[in-house]
Structure 1
């Protein structure tokens, strides 16, 4: 990938990560589909983070974009916890794995005091991992990521 393409890709991922490009349309096998969201909605923010983060890691971190996304979306205290977890477990703490999933899905898990979402990461046809992600309502930053359950992995 040339530097002009990488710059355009990084700018596009940053726009999505910062909620500037939360609406996208893509054509697939003849049927158009839509994805929408609002930067004011915490579930959208969590989905934006996971989408951009997985893209950054897949693209060999796109010039340290993964670290920038962590800085933007995670509390400072949780970033320290995550770094300690990664050092101990030798894996990516956001994904709770050493590799990158093929797909992801974010589902609102409903709470009163903070936003809780379940992230389903798909590794293969029969292998998924479910994570719980908690975000403060005030600062709108992620303060916890933990395993919910593992299916087939």
Structure 2
């Protein structure tokens, strides 16, 4: 069976232990979660969990069915057509060219997030593959630290 990249959104009741129960379904099947993002849904008592993983269609179908059976889960969406974004923050030494770093960040829907006495922090928010390309291009500016956020996705 071919393992393909999958993105699943789960709408859950915003209460303790829900996230542990959702992730336990993946762990129980031996599936690694590549990215996990959780945030409350504004003006509700619900949260939106976005999970990126790799798996074959059969096992992902089982996980989706079992997610539906969890009591605090209201909706499970395996995205077909989606808009997907990921954010990354990169700290560069101040000795590197500020204008070059800014141009690079802007090419990937980002910019300079902060400048300090001995560092520059660039921020990019783009599709995960483009974030990876940005990180590869950023290597020439000697990054000190890289922090990637999780994927967020919404159905088109």
Bigger strand share? 2
Bigger relative CO (Cα 8 Å, ≥ 6 apart): 2
Q: TM-score, normalised by structure 2?
A: 0.27
Q: TM-score, normalised by structure 1?
A: 0.27
